[in-house]
C-alpha cells in the first residue's frame, strides 16, 4: 500500500504539495483549521464585492515560463490569466512607465535614463539569467552564492545613478527597507515580474478553487475545520496529528505549511533539541502591511491593466467581470498605518485623477489582522526575513530534525506565488 501523507495547512504551498504528492502515488489528506482553504491567497466577499488579500498578480506566467510550467504540472494549465501592460513608478516627481518583457522593459527605461543604457542592459541580462534558470539557483546549497550576496550592495555597484536605483526599487516593497535582503530574493522576484505579469480573473478565489479541484482529481482529499493542536512523536518520528475535536490521524509522512515556529509549537518539548527551537524562534520576521481595500462606485473608474507604485505604497486592482470599470483595488503600505487611508487615496488621486471621487468605501487591515486570521507571526507579509550575511540560518531546508516531518511555504526560501510554488517542488523532491 502507498504511504500516507498529512499536510497541515491548506495555503498555496500546502495545496501544491498535496497535489504533487498525490500525483506521485501517496495517499494525501490536507488539513485546514479554517472553514475554507487558501490561506494568504484566499480572498473574501463583503456586501457583494470580492476583495483579494495576499494575491494580486503573478510573474513568469507566460507560455513556457517558470510559473506556467509548475502550474501545468499541478493541472492548472487553463487559468484565466489577464496579462498586464506594465507598471508605473513615481519617484522624485517623475512618472516612469515600465512595460513587462525584458527587451521592452530595458528599452523603455533606457529612453528615460539614456546615460545609463549599458547598466540597464547588464541589470536586465542578469535578472533574465536568474529567472530563466531558476532551479540552477534554487534549493539548499545551489542558491547559496546568490543568497550570500547583498542585493543592496550589488545594486549600488551595478547602478551608480541614484535616480535609476530608486526606479528599479520602486516596485520592490522590500529592498529600500531591508538592507539584509539577499540578491537571489531580489533578482528572482523582480525578474519574474519583468519577464511577464498577469492578474487572475476572479482573483485568489479562482486559484484556490482550481487547486482544490486538482487535489481531488489526483485522489487527494481536503478537510476544513480540522485544525491540528499537537503532533505526537515516537522514536524520532511523528506518529499522529491530534485535531481540535480530540480525534487523531496517523500517517507515514507529515508536511507542515505553517510557520516553522508554529510547527515546533505542535511538537512535544522532548522531540526537538532546545537549540533548534531557540534558533527558529529567534529568526526575524519580515514586516507586515496595512491594506486599504477600496470599493468603487459602479462605472466610476476605468479598469487599468497596470500596477502603480508610489514608494513605499503600491496600488493593485482586481479584475472586474467585464474589465471595463474597476470594482475593487488595494493600496498596500508597509507597517501599521490604519489612520492613513485618506492620505494614500489622495496621494494616488494626484497621479490618477478621479480615483478619490470614485471610492465608495474602504476596508482597513493591519499586520494584526493577518496575524489573527492567518496565523502569521507579527502579521509578517513575506515570512522569515532572509539575511545574506546569515544564509545558512535564514534560508531553511524542508527537512526538520524529525525524519518524517517536512516544511513548505514562503518561510523556507522565497515568497510570493512563484517562490512558494518553487518551494513546494523542493519539498516534494526531498520526500520523493
- Between helix 117-132 and helix 162-170 the angle, nearest 10°, is 30
Q: Are residues 135 and 254 in the same domain?
A: no
Residues 188 and 122 reside in one and the same domain: yes
Q: Are residues 175 and 254 in the same domain?
A: no
Q: Is the pLDDT of residue 320 over 70?
A: yes
183 with 139, same domain: the answer is: yes
Residue with cell 475593487: 328
Average pLDDT over residues 332-353: 95
- 314 is a domain residue: no
Considering the domain boundaries, does residue 80 fall inside one?
Answer: no
Q: Say what the pTM is.
A: 0.94
State the total domains in the chain. Answer: 2
Do residue 185 and residue 246 come from a single domain? Answer: no
pLDDT digits (tens, 9 = 90+) for 243-276: 999 999 999 999 999 999 999 999 999 999 999 9
Last residue of a domain, one of 133, 168, 194: 194
Residue 142 lies in a domain: yes
Mean pLDDT within 103-107: 97
pLDDT at 115: 96
Reduced to 3 states (helix: H, G, I; strand: E, B; else coil), residue 372 is helix
At a CB cut-off of 8 Å and minimum separation 6, what does 115 contact? 161
Residue 54 is predicted with a pLDDT of 87
407 located within any domain: yes
For residue 128, tell me if it sits in a domain.
yes
Contacts (Cβ under 8 Å, ≥6 apart) of 220: 18, 19, 21, 22, 28, 29, 30
On the question of pLDDT at 27 being above 80, the answer is yes
pLDDT at position 173, please?
A: 59
Percent of the chain with pLDDT over 90: 85
Residue 106 belongs to domain spanning:
96-194
Please check whether residues 260 and 402 belong to one and the same domain.
yes
* Pair (143, 181) in one structural domain: yes
Which residue is listed with cell 498605518? 337
Please indicate, yes or no, whether residues 156 and 245 belong to a single structural domain of this protein: no
Is residue 118 in a domain? yes
Taking each helix axis from N to C end, the angle separating 102-112 and 117-132, rounded to the nearest 10 degrees, works out to 160
289 within a domain of the structure (yes/no)? no
Classify each residue of 288-299 as buried b or exposed e, where b means 16 or more C-beta atoms within 10 Å of its C-beta: bbbbbbbbbeee
- Rounded to whole angstroms, the Cα distance separating 28 from 18 reads 6
36 and 167: one domain?
Answer: no
| 278 and 393, same domain (yes or no) | yes
**Domain end among 194, 229, 249:** 194
End position of a domain, from candidates 164, 194, 224 = 194
Tell me: do 185 and 222 sit in the same domain: no
Q: 116 vs 119, 158, 175, CA distance in Å?
A: 5, 10, 21
Q: Tell me if 153 is assigned to some domain.
A: yes
Q: Whole-angstrom Cα distance, residue 26 to residue 248? A: 19
**Would you tell me how many other CB atoms lie within 10 Å of the CB of residue 250?**
11
| Residue 1: predicted pLDDT | 44
Indicate whether 2 pLDDT > 80: no
List 363's β-bridge partners, or say none.
293
Closest residue by Cα to residue 304 from 321, 323, 285: 323
CATH number of the domain at 31, please.
3.50.50.60
C-alpha cell at 63: 507560455
Q: Are residues 8 and 25 in the same domain?
A: yes
Reduce the DSSP state of residue 158 to 3 states and report it.
Answer: helix
Segment 211-244, tens digit of pLDDT = 999 999 999 999 999 999 999 999 999 999 999 9
Ramachandran bin of 430, using left for φ above 0, alpha for ψ from -120 to 50, beta for the remaining angles: alpha
Region of 268 please: left (phi>0), alpha (psi -120 to 50) or beta.
Answer: beta
Cα–Cα separations (whole angstroms), residue 223 to 15, 37, 228, 264: 12, 9, 11, 22
Amino acid at each position: 500500500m502507498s504511504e500516507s501523507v498529512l499536510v497541515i495547512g491548506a495555503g498555496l504551498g500546502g495545496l501544491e504539495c498535496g497535489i504533487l504528492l498525490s500525483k506521485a502515488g501517496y495517499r494525501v489528506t490536507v488539513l485546514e483549521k479554517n472553514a475554507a482553504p487558501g490561506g494568504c491567497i484566499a480572498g473574501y466577499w463583503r456586501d457583494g464585492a470580492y476583495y483579494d488579500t495576499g494575491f494580486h498578480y503573478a510573474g513568469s506566467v507566460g507560455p513556457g515560463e517558470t510559473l506556467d510550467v509548475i502550474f501545468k504540472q499541478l493541472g492548472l494549465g487553463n487559468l484565466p490569466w489577464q496579462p498586464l501592460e506594465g507598471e508605473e513608478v513615481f519617484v522624485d516627481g517623475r512618472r516612469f512607465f515600465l512595460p513587462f518583457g525584458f527587451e521592452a522593459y530595458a528599452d523603455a527605461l533606457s529612453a528615460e535614463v539614456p546615460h545609463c543604457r549599458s547598466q540597464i542592459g547588464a541589470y536586465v541580462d542578469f535578472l533574465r539569467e536568474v529567472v530563466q534558470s531558476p532551479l540552477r539557483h534554487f534549493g539548499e546549497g545551489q542558491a547559496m552564492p546568490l543568497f550570500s550576496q547583498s542585493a543592496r550592495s550589488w545594486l549600488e555597484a551595478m547602478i551608480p545613478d541614484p535616480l535609476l536605483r530608486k526606479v528599479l526599487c520602486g516596485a520592490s516593497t522590500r529592498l529600500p527597507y531591508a538592507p539584509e535582503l539577499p540578491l537571489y530574493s531580489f533578482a528572482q522576484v523582480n525578474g519574474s515580474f519583468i519577464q511577464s505579469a498577469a492578474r487572475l480573473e476572479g482573483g485568489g478565489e479562482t486559484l484556490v478553487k482550481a487547486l482544490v479541484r486538482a487535489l481531488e482529481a489526483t485522489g487527494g482529499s481536503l478537510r476544513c475545520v480540522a485544525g491540528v493542536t499537537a503532533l505526537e512523536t515516537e522514536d524520532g518520528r511523528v506518529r499522529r496529528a491530534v485535531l481540535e475535536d480530540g480525534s487523531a490521524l496517523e500517517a507515514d509522512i507529515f508536511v507542515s505549511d505553517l510557520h516553522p515556529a508554529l510547527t515546533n509549537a505542535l511538537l512535544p518539548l522532548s522531540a526537538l533539541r532546545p537549540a533548534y527551537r531557540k534558533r527558529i524562534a529567534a529568526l526575524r520576521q519580515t514586516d507586515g502591511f496595512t491594506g486599504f481595500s477600496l470599493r468603487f462606485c459602479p462605472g466610476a473608474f476605468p479598469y487599468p491593466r497596470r500596477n502603480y507604485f508610489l514608494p513605499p505604497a503600491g496600488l493593485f486592482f482586481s479584475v472586474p467581470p467585464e474589465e471595463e470599470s474597476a470594482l475593487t483595488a488595494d493600496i498596500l503600505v508597509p507597517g501599521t498605518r490604519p489612520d492613513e487611508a485618506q492620505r494614500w487615496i489622495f496621494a494616488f488621486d494626484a497621479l490618477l485623477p478621479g480615483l478619490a471621487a470614485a471610492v465608495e468605501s474602504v476596508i482597513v487591515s493591519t499586520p494584526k489582522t493577518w496575524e489573527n486570521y492567518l496565523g502569521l507571526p507579527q502579521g509578517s507579509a513575506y515570512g522569515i526575513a532572509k539575511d545574506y550575511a546569515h544564509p545558512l540560518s535564514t534560508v531553511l531546508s524542508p527537512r526538520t530534525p524529525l525524519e518524517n516531518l517536512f516544511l513548505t511555504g514562503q518561510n523556507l526560501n522565497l515568497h510570493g506565488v512563484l517562490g512558494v510554488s518553487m518551494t513546494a517542488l523542493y519539498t516534494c523532491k526531498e520526500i520523493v
